[in-house]
Amino acid sequence: MKKRVVLSGSQEQLKAQIPLIIEIHELLADIRAKTELLATRGTSTNAKYRPKIQLYFYHYDVMQAKSYDAQLSCYLMDEKISTITIGEVKALATIIEQKFAKPIFKFKKGTRKVMYSDVGNGYFNPYVLAETRAEGIRVLNQFLEIRNIPFDMEKVGYVENGSPATRYSSAGTELLMGEAVERLVERPNVEVKFRHAQLFLGKRKAITLVDTSGKLPPPPFDLE
């Protein structure tokens, strides 16, 4: 049952209350999503011994000397770290290369948090901070295509601040020990590009699947 919040007071008092109510609503929505995830995890197969795919996106702004990144991960619930074969790993790498490296996949980061929960298939609420809801859905849909899993809008979660321009404003400076410094942007609007993908077998082994930067150890197979 939906509950209604009734505010009272003068116009000036209401102006002060509304942003706070919006921020509390955003926080509660995030807590609900995490609580639902934890409750579902208790009834799902333990992911501890399942291989984990992790994709990494990156952008470096030369003019501002700042780096921006994003990550997506999921577990292969139908595989085990003890029995997955090099052939299966190579097949995953080939698909990731096709979906994210040829051409390089890009997306626009932002203030909207778009999540996907499908614990049975190993998606423990991966999320994207995207410029728009549609952009976040596009990224998550592409991510699911790696394993040919149909995208289900019923499994999408969405959190957005009611006043993102104010909540995540990049304008102005702040004082640190008496010195004016540029204010940090909590959720910047910036385009990031696919950089690499890895497969983690527990905490002991990481296998490079695809690396567009050339900075990771090479994959244990040839994708050409």
pLDDT in tens, 141-165: 999 999 999 999 999 999 876 555 5
Give the CA angle between residues 76, 81, 86 to the nearest 5°.
Answer: 90
Question: Is the Cβ–Cβ distance between 126 and 141 less than 8 Å?
Answer: no
Beta bridge partners of 74: 53
Determine the pLDDT at residue 39.
Answer: 44
% of the chain beyond a pLDDT of 90: 54
Mean of pLDDT values over 41-48? 59
Determine the pLDDT at residue 42.
Answer: 44
- Residue 33 vs residues 29, 135, 159, 219: alpha-carbon distances, Å: 6, 20, 10, 36
- Residue 208 vs residues 52, 140, 179: alpha-carbon distances, Å: 12, 21, 43
- Residue 191 vs residues 54, 65, 68, 168: alpha-carbon distances, Å: 19, 15, 9, 17
How would residue 168 be classed by pLDDT, with cut points 50, 70 and 90?
low
Greater model confidence, 140 or 190: 140
SS (H, E, C) 74-86: EECCCCCCCCCCH
Greater model confidence, 213 or 47: 213
How would residue 179 be classed by pLDDT, with cut points 50, 70 and 90?
confident
Judged against a pLDDT cut of 60, whether residue 35 lies above it is answered with: no
Question: Is the Cβ–Cβ distance between 206 and 68 less than 8 Å?
Answer: no
Tokens of 25: 């609503």
Judged against a pLDDT cut of 80, whether residue 175 lies above it is answered with: no
User: Which residues in the chain belong to E strands, given as ranges?
Assistant: 52-61, 66-75, 106-118, 123-130, 156-159, 173-176, 179-182, 190-201, 205-211
Closest residue by Cα to residue 76 from 50, 45, 98:
50
Judged against a pLDDT cut of 70, whether residue 139 lies above it is answered with: yes
